[in-house]
Amino acid sequence: MEDWNVVVSVQPGRYREAYRLLEPFGRIHRTAFYNVFTMKVEDIRRFLEELREKASVSPSQYECLRHVMPAQKTFLFQSPDEFAIRAREAAGGWVPDLADKKFYVRMHRRGFKGRLSSHDEEWSLGKFLLAGLENMENQGRIEFENPDAVCVVETVGQRAGLSLWTREDMRRFPYLHVD
């Protein structure tokens, strides 16, 4: 299993084009999943800024990209139970960032079909984050319309990546496509 901190999905039939386009940004790894590859970049924020700048100069060249999702935290897991524990450990540090915020959890699962439910894991992790806010005597709520933040979970096989994106991040970096 290759180490990665970015998951990329591309438009059908445009895999090679996307691969060549993103190759200068970091190491790219093929996956067993259709139109999906992973990357390892040195600095996530710099990667997103450079991608935004290049895409603003030549937008049509970057239309091959469907979804580019950097992961601020990554981990390996062997079972659904281990996934749940490790995801909570990874996301728990963001509880203070979610104080008095509207947010939701979105998961894009590749692999573990029939063993890991995206919907169930989104619900479970959202509930965990709300409980953390309550323990801090803070408010926060799950809200899908105009959220202040989105906690995104990506899995590729037995590796997962999590990130927390604010409304401003999602406006600034159009390739995030959290949904």
CATH at 157: 3.30.2130.30
Is pLDDT of 175 > 90? no
Domain boundary among the residues 14, 39, 70 is at 70
pLDDT at 1 over 70: no
Q: What is the pLDDT of residues 77-86, one digit of tens each?
A: 999 999 999 9
Strands 102-110, 149-156: pairing is: parallel
Longest CA–CA separation in the chain, Å: 50
**Both 98 and 57 in a single domain?**
no
Any domain includes 1: no
The whole-number pLDDT of residue 21 equals 93
In a shared domain, residues 11 and 96 = no
Task: Identify whether residues 84 and 123 lie together within a single domain.
Answer: yes
Residue 155 lies in a domain: yes
* pLDDT over 80 (residue 44): yes
**105 and 122 co-located in one domain:** yes
The helix (H) or strand (E) run that includes residue 7 is strand 6-10
Residue 89 pLDDT more than 70?
yes
Region 34-43: mean pLDDT is: 95
Residue 178: inside a domain: no
State pTM to two decimals. 0.92
Does residue 106 share a domain with residue 62? Answer: no
Residue 117's domain spans which residues?
73-172
Q: Does pLDDT of 92 surpass 70?
A: yes
* Whether 19 and 77 share a structural domain: no
Question: Model confidence over 18-32: pLDDT tens digits?
Answer: 999 999 999 999 999
Residues 127 and 106 placed together within one structural domain of the fold: yes
Q: Which residues contact 114 (CB under 8 A, 6 or more apart)?
A: none
Whether pLDDT at 57 is above 80: yes
